Amino acid sequence: MPERPEPGRAGTVAWPEGGLARAEFVEEVRAQGALHYRDLPWRNVDDAYAVLVSEIMLQQTQVARVAKYWERFLAAFPTLDALAAAEPAEVLELWQGLGYNRRALALKRAADVCAADFGGRLPETAEGLMALPGIGPATAAGVTAFARNRPAVYVETNVRAVFIHCLFPERDRVADREIVPLVADTCPPDDAREWYYALLDFGAHLKQAVANPSRRSAHHARQSAFAGSRRQKRAEVLRIVLGSPGVTADVAHERLNEFEAAGGRGSVDRALFESIVDDLVAEGFFGREGEALRA
């Protein structure tokens, strides 16, 4: 992957034709961001760990749902050291309802590394952050911009929506390689936090007001239905094990079938059930002791 351009250095890239000029774009983002500002609990927070938790939770999860979990999670695990000291089952229990449970385990593993190697603090650089489990470029940029108010190249779905809507109004299949230099070019050197809040809030508004511009991204993928999916079955098996430590595989399979029946679906083949259990064990969600499943 080519190196990302350095943010906070305006005027260093060619501006695309067919959309707003650079000055017009910046003015429009500032105005729309102020008009549609969302006062979210994790905003204007200088605690990098708290911001990291919000960024991980917000991956593939709606803002309204995250708002119900973020404060509760931080109350239970207020620091990286507290999260590192927790049992994985405790972390997963508090994560139930957010979905994509791998994120919880990755966050726990990142805390383990920070507690062991960095004195219970997150690394100061984006490169250091990305060396931790579960932290990619967008998450590292989010921590850098929102917690530390430093320039960063932060690209996520709402940010994409704004750039595509304003700068590529007639284009489909707009690639991130076209957007990233523009994100870097417009990120201010001394106000990254407020700039990205404006982009996020403008983007969220656009998705309500017009056809979602993110669908014109080359990287857009429609999310598959959750109900009845393997992903839902995985989540239910994990919920069963967390709720009944030491439950046998036979009983867990029976309870999964009861859950499926309540949703108007047929029973789960035993081979599929065992495959799901094997995956969850391999990924560290719980262990298997004979027939007993225990987180």
User: Catalytic site residues?
Assistant: 55
Q: How far apart are CA 231 and CA 222, in angstroms?
A: 15
Which tokens hold the place of 273? 């059930």
Which tokens hold the place of 21? 């000029």
- Number of residues assigned to the chain: 295
Q: Is 14 within 8 Å of 5 (Cβ atoms)?
A: no
Strands 287-289 and 292-294, how do they pair? Answer: antiparallel
Q: Choose among 155, 148, 106: nearest CA to 131.
A: 106
Q: What is the 3-state secondary structure (H, E, C) of the chain?
A: CCCCCCCCCCCCCCCCCCCCCHHHHHHHHHHHHHHCCCCCCCCCCCCHHHHHHHHHHHCCCCHHHHHHHHHHHHHHCCCHHHHHHCCHHHHHHHHCCCCCCHHHHHHHHHHHHHHHHCCCCCCCCHHHHHCCCCCCHHHHHHHHHHHCCCCCCCCCHHHHHHHHHHHCCCCCCECHHHHHHHHHHHCCCCCHHHHHHHHHHHHHHHHHHCCCHHHHECCCCCCCCCCCCHHHHHHHHHHHHHHCCCEEHHHHHHHHHHHHHHCCCCCCCHHHHHHHHHHHHHCCCCEEECCEEEC
